[in-house]
Amino acid sequence: MAVDHRGASRSGAFAALVIALSLGAFVAFAVVFNRVPLLVERGFSPSSTAWTLGLGGAGQVLGRVGYLPLAARIGPRGRAVAVMVTTALPTAALGIVGSAAALILVAVGAGVVRGIRTLIQATAITERWGQTHYVRLSGLISAPVVTMMAIAPWAGTALSSWTGRYARTYVVLGLVAVLAAGFAAASMPRQTGDGKPRTI
């Protein structure tokens, strides 16, 4: 049957997409805003920390540039799962690796993935339900995603108090990204015989 915004917004695929994107945003923003205390904890000087943050930002630009070749080779579900998994890996690695060089390389990799994640969110609705109800469905997604972005810096600090170290916090955040990947795998609507997405 034809896709309508009410049916799409009540579907299991839509709920899974909202959870996946919300968890992904939570991890991304917790990682960014708590990276300074993490690097200080790992012995970085203020100048080295600033350079590392700058390189992470450059990695984000590279991720956005590389999105189109990625989209041409991998479908929406595969891209969503891949970006969550590749969010998990550098996030956890930031809490595990010890050398300065490795931390800088991982920070750049995390920036690349963050750049791709932004475009995954921007294209998620049209790739699953088309353009007709893009604004309505995007609005429904934006509220929980923005909420998670807002609480992420505080939550990252709270996690560091709970775990005892920022390094352990990043490992926990990596596990949250793995959970997001599981929801991303369930975020595609079922298809009808004519190839249109179901809304039930």
Give domain status of residue 152, yes or no: yes
Does a structural domain hold residue 147?
Answer: yes
Query: Quick check: 180 and 7 in contact, CB under 8 A?
Result: no
87 within some domain: yes
Residue 19 structural domain: 9-185
CATH number of the domain residue 140 falls in: 1.20.1250.20
Q: Any idea how long the chain is?
A: 200
pLDDT in tens, 16-29: 999 999 999 999 88
| Residues β-bridged to residue 109 | none
Q: How many domains does the chain have?
A: 1
| Distance between CA atoms of residues 189 and 194, nearest Å | 14
**Average pLDDT of each block of 10 consecutive residues along the chain (200 residues)?**
65 92 91 85 81 78 78 86 88 82 79 81 85 84 92 92 92 94 90 44
Output the pTM of the full model: 0.84
What is the rounded (10 degree) CA torsion for 102, 108, 109, 114?
A: 150
The answer to the question of residue 195 being in a domain is: no
